[in-house]
Amino acid sequence: MSDISFDRTRRYVLGLGCERGTPPAEVLGLAVAALKAAGIGGEELAALASIDSRAQETAILGIAAHFTVPAVFFDAPRLEQETPRLKNPSAIVFARVGCHGVAESAALAAIGADGELVLGKIKSAHATAAIARIGLQKA
């Protein structure tokens, strides 16, 4: 995993992105849908990750509290370093925030170089979610 400190016995990181002011219920619904699509339970999450411009976003912080995991945040240049590993890079997101993806990039940045996406970006009306896991060789 990366040098971020969180429970390393849990194998997954949920990456989230959202527009400012997105209702917490919408983001929670998307997070639950992402976990279901990946076939994992909330108790398997080690952390939630996003872009630093959302570090005070009520919906993001609420999801971390809901799953009782730390929220970790990365700046756009750090998230941009993950672009080669993204399943769904977006020029539109790059134009808005300076990286080609938030949910996928944040999950990958938090999980570390040996991790991989197990669920590429899914979307709701105002949010995105993705899930990365620790590489099998690190389990």
**Residue 57: inside a domain:** yes
Percent of residues, the chain, with pLDDT higher than 90? 88
Cβ-defined contacts of 96-102 (< 8 Å, 24+): 97/51, 97/53, 99/51, 101/17, 101/130, 102/15, 102/16, 102/17, 102/50, 102/51, 102/54, 102/128
**Residue 2: inside a domain:** no
Query: Which residues face 72 on adjacent strands?
Result: 49
Domain ranges, residue 105: 12-138
**Into how many domains does the chain fold?**
1
**Residue 4: inside a domain:** no
- Overall pTM > 0.85: yes
Identify the DSSP state of 42: G
**Residue 116: inside a domain:** yes
Q: Please state, in angstroms and rounded to a whole number, the distance separating the CA atoms of residues 133 and 11.
A: 5
**Residue 111: inside a domain:** yes
pLDDT value at 115 more than 60: yes
**Residue 7: inside a domain:** no
Reported as a single tens digit per residue, the pLDDT across 33-75 is 999 999 999 999 999 999 999 999 999 999 999 999 999 999 9
CATH no. for residue 44?
Answer: 3.30.420.180
**Residue 6: inside a domain:** no
CB 131 within 8 A of CB 118: yes
Q: Please state, in angstroms and rounded to a whole number, the distance separating the CA atoms of residues 92 and 78.
A: 18
pLDDT value at 1 more than 50: no
Helix 24-38 crosses helix 58-67 at what angle (to 10 degrees)? 50
**Residue 1: inside a domain:** no
